[in-house]
Chain A
């Protein structure tokens, strides 16, 4: 038995979430149980970080795997896992986990859990924690001893792990696979910024910002903190921002180390997208706003004044 980690690339290296998963796999592995990283497609040439940190790296190259596309990925990942008989396969939440993991699960007949937050060793297997009903409760799920696939939210684990292993690398090539979906057009993504769901710091705003132009205040503070920008549903509904950066029920779920939220009242539609953030700072003019119940620190005041003041204070810290 072994714990497998499905790798994803970011920039010239690996996605931070991949590193978190590998580190956590090492922590929960049983005595003598190897941690294996599966590097498919674009990860093949970016897997350097894994050296010394996992027992084995399986690299799969082949046609159709770069850029990412679901059909060839499903085929490649399922083929490797089918013969590997892992105990656990760990994925990072995101488009790939969403497109590939359930299909691999269905193909192999293995159980899958998505949106998990914690992984612990437990008697007779492992257990994972996941939110239910928008974070109104959390459920531990026992995985037992049979193979299981689990996708974890970014920022669930500490990525630090000693590079003290003698890593064995295996290279394979994928069987050719027909890709039934064809990309007609793909606009370049927002390359510079950290993706919202992975950011360590998120600065979010709501209708309390009063005007679309004031979203620049979020951007500015996010720049100062090296984080990403999120917004509430009301802001998206008002047409001030794109749905891609909406946090909450109908948007993204984030778990950053720091979540700064300004001008958001704190309805469950929003809080279910941010309640697992480690430290929450809320800014609101209404001292009774429900958002303060979800916050560690609060400032009663106008977001339009407090946000720039915060950005200035953060910048002063750096100098």
Chain B
């Protein structure tokens, strides 16, 4: 089974973020990692490859995602590709999805895995978009998958229920926490990743015309809550006062 994994590099959650230029732009500390859920997708792809008796696992990134692609190779992926085009950073998700789909279509696939969402925008758009562009079914938030009858049996938790689904391949699955626990790469993997030739493609190579992205119309920092108001006293006393405040002042009870 050939498995493509869509990977995105995102700022680490610990990275410093500042709104600058009077809300005109964001200044983000350059501390980047492979997206948390994509890492699970890579680990899951490797597990499926083993369970399915071989095939190829390759990672596909876009824009400033080179390290993410290498990281996937370090974890065990066989190859990596990058949509290397200045028009990709800050592009509309649809542009990114079209580019990724074009790479996957050209490389061949039985399955495409992606993270449930990226931790920077928490949008989860690109994976299902790629499914639609490839004309294959899509299941989001997957926590288990195993080969069965030429397809896959997929598990997931949805709104408090758990589901087992029969999914034909090719398909797109997006990975949720709990599927596979990713491990830190071995040094041999790092060596392989450092030397790996990353297949680079421009949007023109892929025949993708970027769609104009929606315009950012300003940033602001987190809503600053007023300084916390401490409610003092023994538990019973504090609880009573708190409930009074929540009812009479905050009016949420």
The answer to whether A and B assemble together is yes
| Chain B positions 129-169 with a Cβ under 8 Å from a chain A Cβ | 129-133, 136-141, 153, 157-168
Counting CB contacts under 8 A, is A98 at the interface?
A: yes
A122–B26 touching, CB < 8 Å: no
**Which residues of chain A are near B188, meaning CB under 8 Å?**
none
**Residues A281 and B214 in contact in the complex (CB < 8 Å), given A181-B166, A268-B14:** no
For chain B, give the interface size range: 35 or more
Interface residue SS majority, chain A: mixed
Q: Which of B66-74, B90-98, B198-206 contacts A (4 or more CB under 8 A)?
A: B90-98
B122–A253 touching, CB < 8 Å: yes
B121–A132 touching, CB < 8 Å: yes
**Which residues of chain B are near A189, meaning CB under 8 Å?**
158-161
**Which residues of chain B are near A305, meaning CB under 8 Å?**
235
A299–B238 touching, CB < 8 Å: yes
| Chain A positions 65-83 with a Cβ under 8 Å from a chain B Cβ | 70-71, 74
Interface residue SS majority, chain B: mixed
Counting CB contacts under 8 A, is A190 at the interface?
A: yes
Counting CB contacts under 8 A, is A317 at the interface?
A: yes
Q: Which of A41-49, A101-109, A163-171 contacts B (4 or more CB under 8 A)?
A: A101-109
A181–B167 touching, CB < 8 Å: yes
Instruction: Give the shortest distance, in Å, between B72 (CB) and chain A (any CB).
Output: 19
Q: Which of B1-9, B44-52, B79-87, B245-253 contacts A (4 or more CB under 8 A)?
A: B245-253
B123–A114 touching, CB < 8 Å: yes
B231–A298 touching, CB < 8 Å: yes
Counting CB contacts under 8 A, is A295 at the interface?
A: yes
> Complex: how many Å from CA A23 to CA B128?
29
A180–B242 touching, CB < 8 Å: no
12 A/B residue pairs, CB under 8 Å, sorted by A: A98-B141, A103-B128, A111-B93, A114-B121, A134-B119, A181-B171, A185-B164, A190-B160, A296-B229, A302-B235, A305-B235, A310-B242
Which residues from chain B sit less than 8 Å from chain A, CB to CB? 11, 13-15, 17, 19, 26, 28, 36-37, 92-94, 97, 119-133, 136-141, 153, 157-168, 171, 176-178, 211, 213-223, 225-226, 228-231, 235-236, 238-240, 242-243, 245-247, 250, 252-253
